[in-house]
Amino acid sequence: MAKNEEIVFGIHAINALLESAPERFIEMWLLKGRDDERLLPIINLARKYGIPAQMVQRRVLDDKSEGEQHQGVIARVKPGKVLTENDLDDIINATEKRDIAPFLLILDGVTDPHNLGACLRNADAAGVQAIIVPKDNAAKITATVRKVAVGAAESVPLVQVTNLSRTMKHLQQMGIWIVGTAGETDTCLYDVKLTGPMALVMGAEGKGMRRLTRENCDQLVKLPMGGSVSSLNVSVATGICLFEMVRQRLI
């Protein structure tokens, strides 16, 4: 595969990309003999947009997806635009024009593509307007991330920034309150006001947030843990925190 091309697989991921950016598709491969109600809309959209589509045996799809669950459909696409800190102000300003308080998620050092995909899915469900990640030492959008995100990779902007601490300071200057999760604090998530312009910071599993990231938070909170396990999977913890924020924003 050429450097300026990507592989996408999974029914939800391909459907979402077909609906948002059909012009990016180069070609598609579909499982031979499968034309059920889940794949038929994809086949019809491929015909509508003139995307070359081949019916192939399962082993061809297995090879192209490198063993990942492809759900009978794989596409070769042109890469989308990579968002950077230069795009962040536009995203926040567009949100404020709609009279909605900025609601952002910052992931510090989350390197597992399955966790990033699950966080994208959580963020989409909670109404988060963008996810911010450091450019280095963080998972990027890949075919696996798109598959796990079930379409959310197309609806939630992923912004890659060169310097996370500097970006956090910039957000604070824009009036956004930054709440980070850390096990060493005594403040419980449920005891803190989480309304208004807000960004939630989640650290990597095990290590948590880096020191500078932690120091740039306005508030640190923790989840109450009642069992023998000391921490949750980052995507699970992210979902809990985001929806506590949603609950408070709805009241």
Binding site members for S-adenosyl-L-methionine: 203, 223, 232
Residue 151 CA to residue 197 CA, distance in Å, equals 26
- Asked whether 242 and 221 are in contact (CB, 8 A), the reply is no
Annotated binding site: 203, 223, 232
DSSP secondary structure code for residue 145 in this structure = H
At residue 213, the 3 state secondary structure works out as helix
Structure tokens at 161: 């920034």
Spatial CA neighbour of 45 closest among 80, 76, 20, 70: 20
Q: Buried (b) or exposed (e) across 27-57, using 16+ Cβ within 10 A?
A: ebbbbeeeeeeebeebbebbeeeebebeebe
Helices (H), the chain: 11-20, 40-48, 58-64, 85-97, 113-126, 143-149, 152-155, 164-173, 211-215, 234-250
Residue 222 CA to residue 42 CA, distance in Å, equals 43
Pairing of strands 73-77, 6-9: antiparallel
Residue 79 CA to residue 140 CA, distance in Å, equals 12
